[in-house]
Structure 1
Amino acid sequence: MEYLLLLQVPGSTLRRQADVAGLEQRLSVAVRGLGRVEGHDAGSGEMNILILTKNPIEVVERLSEVPEARDLVPKLRAAYRKMDDVDVEILDWEGPHRVRIA
């Protein structure tokens, strides 16, 4: 089963497009075998990185292996959902919470 994982960081954390591209490239290497970085979008003062994976929690745990991401982890918000579902699991570092997007 495939999931869409959304990693959200404050836009002020990654100021330049080159920073975003570099982080995406390093994340692609870090999640190789677990998932695929599908790109990013920005808006409302936030940057979202989209990853397709079968193991969203393992991908988030692997972020600590990416030097550029270590500083982001305290600011990072993560959520995932099955590709064919509207229920979203929010990872808040204390445990997952299920919400329904109407």
Structure 2
Amino acid sequence: MNYILVLQWPGRSEVDYDELIAMEDLLLEELPESHGVVDGHDFGSGEMNIFVHTERPVEAFADVMTALSSQPRWTDARAAYRPIEADEFVILWPKTLKHFSVS
């Protein structure tokens, strides 16, 4: 897989963590393997992330939107991808986001 797609939300509480795990589990069920492989999560520094390894980040993100857009946390979602070897992210969501990083 050439890219890593990062899905990110604000997160600080145990409830946030439980929601992260539920979203990750949903993606494990719903994301077509041809578009990406869910490769874990992290939680800390006020944010929570789900990582997807993919060769097709735009298609994988479309699948993520289909799977998660009805979830209550979707309104806080941020998403970006980068080549595995690179440091700079290409922002996918929301369209108005100007900076993306993983703490």
For the criterion TM > 0.5, the same-fold answer is yes
Cα contact 1:38–1:52 (8 A) shared by 2: yes
| Deviation of the 1:77 alpha carbon | 0.6
What is the match of residue 9 of structure 1?
9
What is the match of residue 43 of structure 1?
44
What is the match of residue 59 of structure 1?
60
Q: Deviations over 1:80-102 (max 9, x none)?
A: 11112223211233389798xxx
Q: TM-score, normalised by structure 1?
A: 0.74
Q: TM-score, normalised by structure 2?
A: 0.74
Could you tell me the percent identity over the aligned residues? Answer: 31
Is the strand fraction higher in 1 or 2? 1
Cα contact 1:40–1:48 (8 A) shared by 2: yes
Which residue type is aligned with residue 86 of structure 1? D
Cα contact 1:41–1:49 (8 A) shared by 2: yes
- Measured at CA, do residues 43 and 98 of structure 1 come closer, stay the same or move farther in structure 2, by a change above 3 Å? closer
Structure 1 residues not aligned, in runs of 5+: none
Cα contact 2:9–2:48 (8 A) shared by 1: yes
RMSD: 2.9
2:62 matches 1:74: no
Q: Secondary structure at the match of 2:15?
A: coil
Q: Secondary structure at the match of 2:85?
A: coil
Structure 1 residue runs of 4 or more that deviate by more than 6 Å after TM superposition: 95-99
Which residue type is aligned with residue 63 of structure 1? V
Cα contact 1:87–1:98 (8 A) shared by 2: no
